[in-house]
Structure 1
Amino acid sequence: MAPHSNYFHDVNLDFSDTQFDLLMQKRIHKVLLICSSYDAFMLEEDGRIEELIFNEYVLHNLRYPPSFVRASSATEAIDVLQSEPIDLVISMLNIGEIDTFEMAKMMKSICPQVPIAVLTHFSREVSLKLEKEDLSAVDFVFSWLGNSELLLSIIKLIEDRMNAEHDILEVGVQTIILVEDSIRYYSSYLPHIYKVVLQQSKMSMREALNEQQQMLRMRGRPKILLATNFEEAKELYDKYKDHLLGVISDITYKMAREDTFKVKAGFELCRMVRSDDPHMPFILQSSDKSNSENARELGVGFIYKYSRTLYSELRHFIVSQFAFGDFIFIDPETGQTVGRANNLEAMQAIILTIPDSSLQYHASRNHISKWLFARALFPVAEIFKRITPEDFQDLVQVRQYIHQSISNFRFKAGRGVISKFDRTTYNKYLTFARIGDGSLGGKARGLAFINNILNKHKLFDKYPGILITIPRTVVLSTDIFDEFMESNGLSQLVLDDLSDEEILRRFLDCPLPEKVIPDLQTFIGVVSNPIAVRSSSKLEDSYYQPFAGIYSTYMIPRSCDDKRVFLLLCQAIKSVYASVFYRSSKAYIAATSNVIDEEKMGIVLQEVTGSQHENLFYPTVSGVARSINFYPIGSEKAEHGIASIAYGLGKYIVDGGISLRFSPRFPKKVLQLSTPEMALRDTQKIFFGLDLSPETFVPSTDDGVNLRKMEIADAPEDSVRHVASSYDHQSGVIMDTLSGLGPRVVTFSNILKHKTFPLAEILAELLEIGQREMNNSIEIEFAINLETPKGQPKVFSFLQIRPIVEADQLEEFSWDGVDLSKALVYSESALGNGRIHNIVDFIYVKPESFDAAKSMEIAAEMEELNARFIQLKRNYVLVGPGRWGSSDSWLGIPVKWSQISEARVIVEAGQKNFRVDPSQGTHFFQNLTAFGIGYLTINPFLGDGVFNQDLLDSMPTEYESDQIRWVRFDNPLDIIIDGKKSRGLLLQNTEMEKPSE
């Protein structure tokens, strides 16, 4: 076999989505049935026609059953046609007052687009009568044989004809052409053919990933098109031959409708079809047994019409010849079965093992593509239809090509879809699945939205050599949480005033619902990386009350001991459930005016992005990016967005560690790297990795119990080389390699400057698309693995998207007349927008006595003060050094949100020996801004902003300690934050220029 093409090398083919929702757009909704009362009774068989049809629709998993309107005379029928929207007319042959065919002409003159079918009892006299009638106004004549399935067939046949051109030519739906001029035979054939086709559609539904897809895939079933003469058959064939499963044809019929004589036109039609495609399935049927010999010479099937097993033979031919049912691989020499595939997964597996002779036989006859077409798997079927074994060097390449193409298609099909978890079919190709029928929760909804965006904008493989995706995800919906709480009697327990440790212990003692156990075991069997167990509460990441970082996220290692991994997974799930009722969570819920009983917890189980380094696992890059930059510097603008990235697990960023800040529009301009001194001082020194030893995961209220904090200097060189530079002592410069003799500096220069990975371009596009899709400023979380196996794409994992809620807009404010000498605080790096009212309390950490070593004590002290403000139902201004909410006590005061939840304005004030960047990018930062809290950054010692400590020191105190001072004003402070100009001002009085009208 010579390689005639590059098909084998092009296994990353773009499989476009089949738009099943656009199929079958034209439907029969209302049928006018014209018949006498007696005929109606006979048709209904003591029941209603609607019920018969409805039952047929339910039996075949069909939707949209039509309704029926009955008329007993031509006059009544025409009145109905003129007054109601009718899609189909079915009339009995004898309606009394007027000839049926004359009535049909009258109806066509009124509604020419409405199809008309005549239903008649079968007899020789009727047949002779019909041969003499003018049938020009009648679309079809059917013979009523007492089978209610005929009504379904009539409706489906006409719907197929109505939708054929679009569905077949535009989407690729397949067709079966039936050529038969005998009313009696096509009236009996059609119900049997449709039954086989609808059964095949049920089988193809198994390839769907959820119930919605199953219903939509039914629309992709093969269409049946009826011709009653050679001319009609040729016209249908010429139009749809590229989408043909096969032909069922009578032998003796007219060449054209107006012809008088019947000829053996079936043979001519067969020769014409087989000349185009020698392997096209063709079934001839005749009442003359002698025609079987001619059929044998033509190499096609033959059915004797008078056979006692006519319909079973017909069914057998359709199933075996039109690629319905299982794919049967045969030995071409013996005809023996050598393999069987009942779905796409089985086909992918068996293609690697069947004998060469069988593969050659089926591949050269397009059997595989036809089987795929019959199952409505159009994109991959189209690919296989265009190739033959001669396009490859050998059968090894054929196998690999088919296997890899199916693999790529299955990955593509699993993207952008929320599949229903089925332990019998769950596999590595499914990106997002759900267990349970309740809500997904906020975080999972965000992930589902991301999945949809990536699919909608075809971003998965837009960048060469890079896969943009969400990690493999399974969601336990909130009804699993409800069942866990109820079955274990935990509802009352959580209302008691118990310690966090006691709540966790009680939760761990309770079993998960029995029904999810095998699902979790199946999930473990599919994933190969460690598993992140993340919260996804109903309130989490909602538009106006984001709960980012409030609940716990645990990571468990993936070892070869599945039983142990399963135990750890169950413990982690129950630990996340317990975190809903920890004291900090309750305080947050109360602060947002929610009721804890309203909170429901979903669980996101997700493969961790990254690679293994000895006994640690972590990604090359973790990051947070926002579509709006509240702290633009230089040529940056607010709408350019901002990103913060770090080496290792993202917990380092969300806990407030020193990350690298850059604008995706200006990735080479990084303030932290502007001088070697700044680079050495203001870049990442430590990173987090997941300890892969199973014994390190011990259920705890600390969700970072098995995360190890490591020095950048100790990171493996083969990993850190992607992100680190080195300082050269001799030249005093930062080198973009690790060849310098000095310390490593995490600059990400290889990525941002030398573009070894197009991070800035990807972030810019994702932020722009995400903001447009959400119609709101957004924040995203991501992780990147650059250490994938050779030949495999680098992975950009899109982990989360959430809206950034900006404060109410401030009227245009004039700063010209503001006397800054009267300002308590003035900042030109202010986050927020609007006026803040009714604040009289001011708490500040005394700069002169601040000791970073005592920052933990300050956090505990603030918790006690905050509790007093909760009781007083008052808010306050809070000023302190460095980053509020940092997990590193040397960068600021490590408070949690619940410890300062009543603060309405927060000021980060740098000192001469304690200057840090704003906390943008942390969960703490996200939660503060979400509540419209004024957030100011000042460095007065550099002339950047004002802090009138002298005025505050002169005031009497409500409370004072070695580190903290609390003063109270007689009148509310005037607080203005101008988000457009990034300015913030706190004044003791209101003697200033009012907002302009």
Structure 2
Amino acid sequence: MNIPQEWNKFYLKDVSFVNLMTHRIFNVLIVANPYDAFMLEDDGRVDEKIFNEYTALGLRYPPAFTQVSTIEEAMEVMNATTVDLVICMPGNADNDAFTVARAVKDRFPDIPCVVLTPFSHGITRRMENEDLSIFDYVFCWLGNTNLILSIIKLIEDKMNIEHDINEAGVQMILLVEDSIRFYSSVLPNLYSYILAQSQRFATEALNPHSATLRMRGRPKVVLARNYEEAMELYDKYADNTLGVISDCRFPKDGVKDADAGLKLLREIRRRDEYIPLIIQSSETANRERALAEGFRFIDKNSKKMNIDLRGIMEEHMGFGDFIFRDPATRKEIKRVRSLKELQDNIFNIPYDSMLYHISRNHMSRWLCARAIFPVSAFLKTVTWHRLQDVDAHRRIIFDAIVQYRHMKNIGIVALFNRDRFDAYSHFARIGDGSLGGKGRGLAFLDNIIKKHPEFNGFEGVKVSIPKTVVLCTDVFDEFMDNNNLYQVALSDASDDEILEHFLKAQLPDRFRADFYTFFEATNSPVAVRSSSLLEDSHYQPFAGIYSTYMIPRLDDKAQMLEMLAAAIKSVYASVYYRDSKAYMTATSNVIDQEKMAVILQEVVGKQYGDYFYPNISGVLRSINYYPIGYETAEEGVASLALGLGKYIVDGGQTLRVSPYHPDQVLQTSEMEVALRQTQTHFYALDMTHVGNDFKVDDGFNIRKMKVKDADKDGSLNYIASTYDPYDQVIRDGIYDGGRKIISFCGVLQQGVFPLPELLRMSMRFGAEGMKRPVEIEFACNLNEDRTGEFYLLQIRPIVDSKQVLDEDIASIADADCLLRSHNSLGHGISSDVTDVVYVKTDDDFTAANNPRVAEEVERINRKFLDERRNYVLVGPGRWGSSDYWLGVPVKWPHISAARVIVEVALKNYNVDPSQGTHFFQNLTSFGVGYFTIDANNGSGIYNKALLDSMPAVEETSLVRHVRFDKPLKIMMDGMKQEGVVVF
């Protein structure tokens, strides 16, 4: 199978349905004598019937009708209001339809004007002597309100056809007929069939709003009443003509021509060998002539003429299901109803049937009729003449459908549908409630990727969000109500007790099949993440407060379902844990207003033996409060790590890099620093941990691994360097023997994978989209052949305080400073804090006591929360590190009343400044400062002697709390990284 390059590599351009059918008829004026008006209003009930017709067909904007009976009344209405269409019905001498129409056209030449005439021989004879050219159309009224709908749609199609074809490639059905009686009866049937078809193909849409928009892509119907008009329309829209339905006898060159229809279709066939051509005639002798030339024939005299027409349109114009037939017997082999079904079956269709349909361009036409224009237009170029290889056609069709479905899924929050969610699906919701903060962030990221195709402009690199399904907040409400959980949830019960009650509760059974579908589509472990209403909101980010659980992929799907249900219930329970309630209090939120959506998401990574993890996880920030060397604050910063991202948010040792300066990495600039300050451990999901023993700690099945374990897995390609102990050097790449240094040298300095470029784009487009600085989580899989996948996992705003600094911080005298940092985080001024809580760092200090320090700080913090006061917190090492040897292992709720948090370096305990904890988001959102001070090397001031000399409000063996008589003045310059606390 050899596929030419032009069809092997192609790009489908997306079509937007929003801008289609922009010209509509909203107001219809009917001019009729009282009797005809009565017929329409009372017998016909035109308003009601049209409204019902629109509703049944899923159409919006049914028109309003105004009825008058004289020219004077008509002019009065048209002068006072906007009228989009005038329908004149012939009546008595005082109200002649033609007189009315001329009067309307004289005053309002651009308003469409239609005559609706009852059918009789007298009227027909009279009309033979009239100049009908002043009317847009003349129709025969037999009391069928469907005709009014058809008139409105025919005129709307005429108004929109040029724009919609140019905009999206919408198709045209050309009806050629000069008999008023005949087209008045055929048009309502044609439109009802096309509109019903548009409802069917709207099911290809991913949510109800998209479905409504897709219906605008239905084929347009255009009526021509002579040969010249028909050829003019065909010449103009030849590439977008779905089919032609023509009478046999109609005017050509100004005179009736019995063969005009045959002549027209011959000319069209000469230009297009595939287009379906249908002759309609009441002269039965024309049947054999039409069939002999390969045209379809419909007998106008037949009582089932409309059924015959629908049958031919269904088979030859691509309406209805696609039926694969045996070319010899015409027997049905396979019926497909949707794009996904075509994709699933394309390789199973017998060769002869496939050849039959390909050689007649049936597939392209079927897709066209379903408004799948990008695929249809592409396949239209892949004709049998140009590529005579059935298997190549199968592959091209399959690839085009896959690309189209992927393109349509990006940036859309689809309604979850079991029949449609598969490996090519993207983001779907279950329920009608909110997506929550993280869910909204993910949907926004998906939309950013769709808006910026340059993300996927790198050879061998795929950029996307992980496959995601969100259980909306209404599912949470239903779960809480059905299981009567509020009483225990809002009580003072322990976290373990609350979790136990939640795990015993039942999720609604109706989601079982949905979850099984999700398992099949993802084929990977599943992360179950919190996405609360308040989480990641612009001014109150709850990052890291609620739980995220991961469950392994199991062959036993029933067991996997049990674990998933337990994980969802555990995330729900985490809303009511003690830390969450404390955080709610700290942020002045009410716990029972919180609602939880849950994100089910494929875990990014690969399986290595019993463990699963990605090559790269990272957090990217578009403002860099720690710029080094040539870096600027506006260029942002990324923290990179091997393994699951939990390692980063738990405060692990990550690699800090500016995406604009990937070759300047401080941690790998010197050998001693690289050996001491790069990652030695990472987190991986334990795939063997199976069961429902879920814990309050969401990391119960996450394993802390050593970097040398990853080396054995072969997962360090392009992200590690090797330390040679003999030559005392670090070499880029992986070599036998020697410790592996996580340097990301291949992706940062050697261009193996365009990570710096992708990070720059993510930062730029994310900040542009949110109109503020952002924090983005991401993960990567790298393959040996240098291809890979880059996944955007989360985006949240960094909210900066807008307070203006009146004075230059650098000009404040050192003698006035209790604290001074040249490496501060935060921005703004504060002058309402009088308290300082600090860790005692005398000569006998040991990091072994840090867990006890955390407990004491938490207890003191609770008092501040109760009193609604704030304080300055000072201590050694990294606040919030999960490794207590590196700092005090507090969580944000334990220090949430602190206005400034200070990490100081000691002579015998010098830990590098913290990076990548969840604190960053909370600090910036609440205007909290974070100072790094190393007075040993002259980098900043920590006047501990002053604090030691003051009386203690409270003192333990590890922590001391003092209070000043007047408020301290806290000042931070976020762009210069300067911060002071003045006493």
Q: Give me the TM-score of the superposition, normalised by structure 2.
A: 0.98
Find the counterpart in structure 2 of residue 802 from structure 1: 796
Tell whether the 8 Å contact from 1:73 to 1:95 is kept in structure 2 after alignment.
no
Q: 1:757 aligns with which of 736, 753, 759?
A: 753
| Residue aligned with 2:456, SS | coil
CA separation of 1:901 and 1:170: change in aligned 2, threshold 3 A: closer
Q: 2:16 aligns with which of 15, 19, 30?
A: 19
Q: 2:623 aligns with which of 628, 644, 656?
A: 628
Q: 1:514 aligns with which of 509, 512, 536?
A: 509
Q: 2:597 aligns with which of 599, 602, 612?
A: 602
| Residue aligned with 2:573, SS | helix
Find the counterpart in structure 1 of residue 642 from structure 2: 647
Structure 2: where are the runs of 5+ without partners? Answer: none
Q: Deviations over 1:473-531 (max 9, x none)?
A: 00000000000000111112212110000000000011012332322232223221100
Give distance in 2, aligned partners of 1:186 and 1:726: 81
Tell whether the 8 Å contact from 2:249 to 2:256 is kept in structure 1 after alignment.
no
Q: 2:241 aligns with which of 239, 244, 256?
A: 244
CA separation of 1:514 and 1:695: change in aligned 2, threshold 3 A: closer
Give distance in 2, aligned partners of 1:776 and 1:515: 41
Q: Deviations over 1:782-809 (max 9, x none)?
A: 0101138x79x51111000000011132
Give distance in 1, aligned partners of 2:305 and 2:389: 43
Cα deviation, residue 393, structure 1: 6.3
Q: Which letter maps to 1:113?
A: D
Give distance in 1, aligned partners of 2:868 and 2:351: 80
Cα deviation, residue 822, structure 1: 2.3
Give distance in 1, aligned partners of 2:109 and 2:523: 62
Tell whether the 8 Å contact from 2:44 to 2:144 is kept in structure 1 after alignment.
no
Give distance in 1, aligned partners of 2:247 and 2:508: 60
Find the counterpart in structure 2 of residue 549 from structure 1: 544
| Residue aligned with 1:716, SS | helix
Find the counterpart in structure 2 of residue 481 from structure 1: 476
Tell whether the 8 Å contact from 1:660 to 1:683 is kept in structure 2 after alignment.
yes
The range that moved more, 569-578 or 361-370, is 361-370
Give distance in 2, aligned partners of 1:986 and 1:198: 71
Tell whether the 8 Å contact from 2:826 to 2:923 is kept in structure 1 after alignment.
no
Q: Which letter maps to 1:204?
A: F
Give distance in 1, aligned partners of 2:591 and 2:92: 69
The answer on 1:466 being equivalent to 2:461 is: yes
Give distance in 2, aligned partners of 1:261 and 1:190: 22
Cα deviation, residue 548, structure 1: 0.2
Tell whether the 8 Å contact from 1:525 to 1:562 is kept in structure 2 after alignment.
no
Find the counterpart in structure 1 of residue 828 from structure 2: 834
Give distance in 1, aligned partners of 2:725 and 2:455: 43
Q: Deviations over 1:408-430 (max 9, x none)?
A: 22122211111101223322221
Give distance in 1, aligned partners of 2:334 and 2:810: 84
Cα deviation, residue 916, structure 1: 3.1
Cα deviation, residue 283, structure 1: 1.0
Give distance in 2, aligned partners of 1:599 and 1:4: 55
Find the counterpart in structure 2 of residue 777 from structure 1: 773
Give distance in 1, aligned partners of 2:227 and 2:658: 69
Q: Which letter maps to 2:482?
A: S
Cα deviation, residue 566, structure 1: 0.1
Cα deviation, residue 770, structure 1: 0.6
Find the counterpart in structure 2 of residue 723 from structure 1: 719
| Residue aligned with 1:329, SS | strand
Find the counterpart in structure 1 of residue 978 from structure 2: 983
The answer on 1:44 being equivalent to 2:38 is: no
The answer on 1:739 being equivalent to 2:735 is: yes
The answer on 1:351 being equivalent to 2:346 is: yes
Give distance in 2, aligned partners of 1:760 and 1:5: 34
Q: Deviations over 1:176-220 (max 9, x none)?
A: 000000000000000000111112112211211110111011000
Give distance in 2, aligned partners of 1:269 and 1:795: 54
Tell whether the 8 Å contact from 2:426 to 2:466 is kept in structure 1 after alignment.
yes
Cα deviation, residue 767, structure 1: 0.3
Give distance in 1, aligned partners of 2:626 and 2:810: 22
Find the counterpart in structure 1 of residue 320 from structure 2: 325
Cα deviation, residue 8, structure 1: 4.6
The answer on 1:188 being equivalent to 2:191 is: no
Q: What aligned pairs does 1:351-750 form with structure 2 within 5 A after superposition?
A: 351-392=346-387, 394-459=389-454, 461-695=456-690, 698-717=693-712, 718-739=714-735, 741-750=737-746
Q: 1:205 aligns with which of 202, 205, 215?
A: 202
Find the counterpart in structure 1 of residue 125 from structure 2: 128
Give distance in 2, aligned partners of 1:391 and 1:233: 30
The range that moved more, 269-278 or 407-416, is 407-416
Structure 1: where are the runs of 5+ without partners? Answer: 989-997
The answer on 1:961 being equivalent to 2:981 is: no
| Residue aligned with 2:291, SS | helix
Give distance in 2, aligned partners of 1:844 and 1:371: 74
Q: Deviations over 1:516-552 (max 9, x none)?
A: 2322232223221100000000000000000000000
Cα deviation, residue 80, structure 1: 1.0
Across the aligned residues of Structure 1 and Structure 2, the Cα RMSD in angstroms comes to: 1.6
The range that moved more, 343-352 or 101-110, is 101-110
Give distance in 1, aligned partners of 2:364 and 2:809: 72
Q: Deviations over 1:340-382 (max 9, x none)?
A: 2111112122221222121111111111100000000000111
Tell whether the 8 Å contact from 2:876 to 2:904 is kept in structure 1 after alignment.
yes
Tell whether the 8 Å contact from 1:958 to 1:966 is kept in structure 2 after alignment.
yes
Q: Give me the TM-score of the superposition, normalised by structure 1.
A: 0.96
Q: Which letter maps to 1:6?
A: Q
Give distance in 2, aligned partners of 1:262 and 1:89: 32
Tell whether the 8 Å contact from 1:247 to 1:283 is kept in structure 2 after alignment.
yes
CA separation of 1:123 and 1:917: change in aligned 2, threshold 3 A: farther
Find the counterpart in structure 2 of residue 825 from structure 1: 819
Q: Which letter maps to 2:58?
A: N
Give distance in 1, aligned partners of 2:747 and 2:420: 39
Give distance in 2, aligned partners of 1:167 and 1:883: 61
Cα deviation, residue 908, structure 1: 1.1
Q: Which letter maps to 1:181?
A: D
| Residue aligned with 1:425, SS | coil
Find the counterpart in structure 1 of residue 147 from structure 2: 150
Find the counterpart in structure 1 of residue 838 from structure 2: 844
Tell whether the 8 Å contact from 2:69 to 2:95 is kept in structure 1 after alignment.
no
Q: Deviations over 1:617-664 (max 9, x none)?
A: 000000000001011111110100000000000000000001000100
| Residue aligned with 1:847, SS | coil
Give distance in 1, aligned partners of 2:389 and 2:375: 21
Tell whether the 8 Å contact from 2:654 to 2:915 is kept in structure 1 after alignment.
no
Cα deviation, residue 742, structure 1: 2.5
Tell whether the 8 Å contact from 1:881 to 1:908 is kept in structure 2 after alignment.
yes
CA separation of 1:380 and 1:908: change in aligned 2, threshold 3 A: same
Percent identical: 50
The range that moved more, 13-22 or 770-779, is 13-22
Q: What aligned pairs does 1:28-107 form with structure 2 within 5 A after superposition?
A: 28-46=25-43, 48-94=45-91, 96-107=93-104
The range that moved more, 505-514 or 648-657, is 505-514
The answer on 1:883 being equivalent to 2:878 is: yes
Give distance in 1, aligned partners of 2:45 and 2:833: 73
The range that moved more, 847-856 or 230-239, is 847-856
CA separation of 1:461 and 1:225: change in aligned 2, threshold 3 A: same
Tell whether the 8 Å contact from 1:834 to 1:976 is kept in structure 2 after alignment.
yes
Find the counterpart in structure 2 of residue 992 from structure 1: none
